[in-house]
Amino acid sequence: MTQELPAPIVNADSQEFWAAARNDRLLIRKCRACGKTHFMPRHLCPACWSADLEWVQSSGRGTVHSFTIIRRASVPEFAARVPYVVALIDLEEGPRMMANILGEDALKTEIGDPVEVCFEARAEGARIPQFVRKVK
Amino acid sequence: MPTTGVETLRNRVAIVGVGESDIGKVPHMTGLGLNAQAAKRALDEAGLKVSDIDGLLTAYSFTEPYFMLGTVLCEYLGLQPRFNASMVVGGASPAVMLKHAAEAIATGQCNTVLVCAGENRATGQTRDQAVAALAAVGHPYFERPYGASIPGCYAMIARRHMNRFGTTPEQLATVAVTTRAHAGLHPNAHMRKPITLADVQSSKPIADPLRMLDCCIISDAGGAFIVTSAERAKDLRLKPAYLAGIGEFHTHEHILCAPSLSEFGGRESGQAAYRMAGLGPSDVDVAELYDCFTIVPIIELEELGFCSPGEGGPFYEKGAASMGGKLPVNTHGGMLSHAHAGAAGGLFGIVEAVRQLRGGLGPRQVEGAEVALVHNEGSIMSSHCTAILTSQPR
């Protein structure tokens, strides 16, 4: 059995993001002024500096921009998980985020693979967005 | 002479002394001690006195994480300077410090700046501590929960480069082999034993496609250089290396926010440096490029205009980056083989560039080197600084 990994750290910028993740919803920030979406929630829009932002729910669909298979974990918590896939996912709505690719076929990941969000349990009841391949 | 912007710095300052500490496993010395040893060696070869130093710049230390490291180092060295700072732009810090030193001297804030960096990364912490400290470079909220490592981030850049341009694992391995061969010509390099393509490709897998020998080493090391006005440099002991051009550019910190995985800020920092120097890639005789992983100098060759996008791998493969090639790269052995100890890693590129311009390095001398380019980058191809040094004011 894989040991439960630590919960993500929540702060004022990301509180709603992680709260939604506990309900299996992936939220991203959208600027009401310029309409751009961004990942890594911020106090203001990094494109136009408007602070008039809203949270929108992502479709959870995306593609793999790039990935690696970690063979040697950099922190002890992840040692039991190797080999595992770390990927940069381009969400359908535009922003890019990092996640693991989970699932039995994860090690077959290729650039351009369509992926879909899923949620993984972490310590303290936290859940974090992850992705699975949707390759036919 | 240009009268505006950073270009007013052209030919205003020179590096007049460089120093390396003992390198490798140096368990009997602290990080501050390594800085001090390198600084003394740089000062001695310049023929300057301690009292001539009225400015100090340093970077950061993972193993001895003092708050106000610059001031701590001044205290350790018995200096009371008029100008001092600790600059943290990761691996880009040394070239950025050179730029700030030049600005301070050109604006009359001080006359002579000691720039140094170093850490006892090999023996001052356990291997697990070292790896964990570097893992802390990942975004604390949106990268670390996924177990991304620094090699993992560079591996994603390598993977993208391979996918877009057809760069091969063999070409990555060639970078490691070439750089190790150069280190074999450097008496103070940490890793000097020659390696083969097969050695690299059978080394332990770390983060696909990167293997152990695609990654920089971990050393105890300190490096230093002394910057003063071009005027003052004229009558010092050794031939000065003049700062002809320098430029920086910063696009992101964490890879998840990188605007691109194949185009980075080195293009802009390089263009700024070339513009200031009035020189171009074809004028450069030797290049000391940041090489924390084998993919990095491949991309830097492309960004800095030494070859077209996608041609960095073939550039190494055909020997163009080797000693005797079209543009010898990392003639000291780089961070892959000479030394990597925090900001000291990139600083040794500056040390080596100065030595190449002075001449007389024996088998590792690039014949007739008059123009040297140094590129430093920090974090995940995030902060970039390019410096062009010349043997004569141009």
Nearest CB partner across the interface for B159, out of A9, A68, A128: A68
DSSP bridge pairs for B249: B384
Residue B346 maps to a domain: yes
What are the tens digits of pLDDT across the range A103-112?
999 999 999 9
Q: Where are the alpha helices (DSSP H) in chain B?
A: 31-46, 69-77, 93-106, 127-135, 150-165, 169-183, 197-202, 230-233, 266-277, 295-303, 312-317, 344-358
- Take residue A41 and report the two structure tokens written for it: 């929630």
CA distance B98 to chain A (A): 30
- Comparing alpha-carbon positions, the chain A residue that sits nearest to B145 is A8
**Residue B195 within a domain:** no
Contacts of B165 in chain A (CB under 8 A): none
Residue B185 domain-assigned (yes or no): no
Cβ contact (<8 Å) for B256 and A74?
no
Q: Is residue B160 part of a domain?
A: no
Q: Which amino acid is present at A70?
A: I
Residue B75, domain member (yes or no): yes
Domains and CATH numbers, chain A: 15-133 (2.40.50.840)
Quick one: average pLDDT of B62-86? 96
Who contacts B356 (Cβ-Cβ below 8 Å, separation ≥6)?
B285, B286, B331, B365, B366, B369, B372
Nearest CA in chain B to A77: B147
What pLDDT does residue B135 have?
67
Angle between helices B266-277 and B295-303 (to 10 degrees): 50
Residue A1: pLDDT band (50, 70, 90) is very low
Shortest Cα distance, chain A CAs vs residue B142, angstroms: 7
Query: Are A71 and B205 a contacting pair at CB < 8 A?
Result: yes
Residue B327: inside a domain:
yes
CATH classification at residue B84:
3.40.47.10
Task: Look at residue B34 in the predicted model and tell me its pLDDT.
Answer: 98
Residue A102 forms contact with B (CB below 8 Å): no
What percent helix, strand, coil does chain B show, rounded to 5?
40, 20, 40
pLDDT higher than threshold 60 for residue B379: yes
The DSSP string of B25-93 is --TTS-HHHHHHHHHHHHHHHHT--GGG--EEEE---SSS--TTHHHHHHHHHT---SEEEE--BTBTH
**Any chain B CB within 8 A of the CB of A76?**
yes
Assigned domain for B212 exists: no
**Nearest residue, CB atoms, A9 vs list B141, B146, B157:** B141
A15, closest residue in chain B (CA to CA): B141
Chain B nearest-CA residue for A71: B206
- Predicted ipTM > 0.95: yes
CB pairs under 8 A between A and B: 109
Q: Which domain holds residue B382?
A: 9-124+218-390
Q: Are B286 and B369 in contact (CB under 8 A)?
A: yes
Give the residue ranges of DSSP H helices in B256-388: 266-277, 295-303, 312-317, 344-358
Helix axes B295-303, B169-183, angle to 10 degrees: 90
B20 — pLDDT class (breaks 50, 70, 90) = very high
What per-residue confidence (pLDDT) applies to A75? 83
- pLDDT at residue B272 greater than cutoff 70: yes
Confirm whether pTM is higher than 0.90.
yes
Query: Do B165 and B309 touch, CB atoms closer than 8 A?
Result: yes
- Asked which of B3-17, B50-64, B342-356, B364-378 is least confident by mean pLDDT, the reply is B3-17
The rounded Cα B367 to chain-centroid distance in angstroms is 22
Q: For residue B241, is it within any domain? A: yes
In whole angstroms, give the CA distance from residue B124 to residue B209.
Answer: 30
**Structural domains counted in chain B:** 1
Share of chain B above pLDDT 70, in %: 97
Q: Which residues contact B339 (CB under 8 A, 6 or more apart)?
A: B20, B23, B24, B189, B190, B217, B219, B221, B223, B345, B348
H/E stretch holding B378: strand B371-378
pLDDT digits (tens, 9 = 90+) for A19-28: 999 999 999 9
CB A49 within 8 A of CB A32: no
Q: B206: which chain A residues are within 8 Å (Cβ-Cβ)?
A: 71-72
Amino acid type, B292: C
Does position B154 have pLDDT exceeding 50, yes or no? Answer: yes
* Tokens 């940069």 -> residue: A88
Q: Classify residue B128 by burial, with Cβ atoms within 10 Å: 0-12, 13-18, 19+.
A: exposed
